[in-house]
Chains A and B, each alone.
Chain A
């Protein structure tokens, strides 16, 4: 349960409203299913001062994701209800597919759509299709994305186009990410009796047709994420520049697992309006419990190692039916091989799955196993981040445990 105060900004009026003594409580139920298949399901249920409805309300927010070798599909929703203000329902669906061109270079294409309903009547919707290019290596990477779609403005949709660049890098346990994004709503309208595309961003002489209203928004921001033991957290800061109204935004989130089943989540921040839906924005704070129903927390399910100096890390995932799957993140590597007692010490190629990740096709049997890996035919080394011991042959071997 939570208690938190928030200043809420009415999205339509643009004025600030102080919501005194607002309490937010949120119970988060997280279910992670079939971790080996990269399927996750989260259900957030609770009460809060939501982004969807002003004032305290009851909210339920499920989220389901499925990540395959070359694609991922994620869906999420949020239902908020307050007795005197009706209800709000927001849903988002995102699908992304990617293709590796080289070991570090990949292209991706995706689609995402978002819709909001008020008291079960559709209020706003927006979507965009994206085309991206990502390059990863040396513990970091960059991604460029172009998007095209439609956004809600007043009672009509306007064309939406966006260009986004992201750069990230891992420093030990900390990941830092910098983002720049420009979003354009509407289309440039040639001014009457004037040659060329003389634009009037966000005001001046604009066509009364909403589809032709034109505005440009530029977001610059950064995020720092980290996790250690039972703790994980992130901090995002940024600023939106726009002739029609910008401002700073920030968001902080912390998660602490109290037990393997119960965690505590603290969120707070100030969001800018949602450009796709033309709604939202404002300050919020939330303190919530996160409950994992399937017996252990995601932290317990995923035992990934500390990334090494070259951004390499080991991921062991407990499979539902027994056994443990193994994956190694080796940015920049074209080939990763593994040998262990369960391969009779014969090298086995790991299967490249997505940019920087390689999967062992067979499960790690239960028990403790000595394991060596090598990258691009180099020397045999312990898996990144695993406990390491000297072997009897002048080298080192890592210890990996299957369950």
Chain B
């Protein structure tokens, strides 16, 4: 086959490749800016658009957009006004960003979300970094979840942090963190109480 013959064979393929690339690009762009049907169905048009922009910002920054959508849906279900919903979503985006900055982009979305939750309850970026350093290669989801649960249970942040730090320094296995959680949230009676057995004389 001559050089011209090869060129003739290749020439028609270039527009096809460009067309395919364009189609893919358009799909990606449309996908990125498409409004979530859950938002359009339940929020006003303007609010849905603003939430979508925040979600797009999160997506562009490599952050999970779903928690933002869920926060908006939560606000809608609870009857909050648009300004409050938007503020809540924006605050969450801020915490997600801070958590990602503290923990790095290499951690999973669930770790970022757990970190954002801890930040909202009073944890600091430094504590997230320190916990990650203490854990090393060990998973972070459970420690962050336990830290959050302790804060949610009303444990003062200094004490909660000391407890989590101690566990991380002495092994840092998930089961050890679970036991810490159980000490704060004691186990109640078993479900056998539904139909209490009669006294057996």
Contact = CB atoms under 8 A, between A and B. Distances in A.
B187 A315 contact: no
A311 to B, nearest CB: 9
Given A345-B74, A387-B152, A391-B74, A164 B198 contact: yes
Interface string B1-21: 000000000000000000000
A225 B185 CA distance: 19
Contacts of A391: 74, 78
Nearest to A306: B188
Nearest to B193: A175
Nearest to A236: B199
B188 A313 contact: yes
B191 A302 contact: yes
Given A306-B186, A315-B191, 15 more contacts: A175-B189, A226-B189, A227-B190, A238-B199, A302-B187, A305-B185, A329-B194, A341-B74, A344-B73, A346-B73, A370-B74, A391-B74, A393-B85, A394-B80, A395-B78
The 9 closest A-B pairs by CB, nearest first: A392-B88, A387-B152, A345-B73, A345-B77, A179-B199, A393-B80, A341-B70, A221-B199, A227-B189
Interface in A371-403: 372, 380, 385, 387-389, 391-395, 397, 399, 401
Nearest to B152: A387
Interface string B157-201: 000000000000000000100000011011111110111101111
A393 B196 contact: no
Size category of the A interface is: 35 or more
B152 A399 contact: yes
Contact of B189 (A173, A222, A249, A251): A173
Contacts of B183: 229
A345 B76 contact: yes
Contacts of B196: 166, 168, 175, 177, 223, 225
Nearest to B69: A344
Contacts of A397: 74
Interface in B44-92: 67, 70-71, 73-80, 84-85, 87-88, 91
Interface string A310-346: 0001010000000000010100000000010100111
B153 interface: yes
Contacts of A394: 80
A263 interface: no
B38 interface: yes
A228 interface: yes
A134 B74 CA distance: 38
Interface string A337-365: 00101001111000000111100000000
A357 B191 CA distance: 10
Contact of B121 (A219, A240, A327, A389): A389
Interface in A114-168: 134, 145, 164, 166, 168
Contacts of B190: 227, 232, 298-299, 302, 304
A182 interface: no
A5 interface: no
**What is the interface residue range for chain B against chain A?**
35 or more
Nearest to B182: A229
Contact of B87 (A96, A298, A357, A392): A392
A354 B201 contact: no
A344 B187 CA distance: 29
B62 to A, nearest CB: 20
B114 interface: yes
B148 interface: yes
A388 B190 CA distance: 22
Contacts of A46: none
B191 A304 contact: yes
A226 B188 CA distance: 8
Contact of A389 (B71, B141, B152): B152
Contacts of A395: 78
A249 B201 contact: yes
A173 B201 contact: no
Contacts of A346: 73, 77
A286 interface: no
A387 B149 contact: yes
B201 A393 contact: no
Contacts of A134: 195
A55 interface: no
Nearest to A317: B191
A307 interface: yes
19 contacts: A225-B193, A226-B189, A228-B187, A229-B187, A230-B187, A236-B199, A271-B201, A272-B201, A299-B187, A299-B190, A313-B188, A329-B191, A344-B38, A346-B77, A354-B194, A355-B194, A393-B85, A399-B148, A399-B149
A389 B196 CA distance: 33
Contacts of A177: 196, 199
A177 B192 CA distance: 13
Nearest to A270: B201
A248 to B, nearest CB: 10
Contact of B75 (A96, A170, A367, A392): A392
Nearest to B79: A393
Nearest to B181: A401
A368 interface: yes
B152 A227 contact: no
Nearest to A181: B198
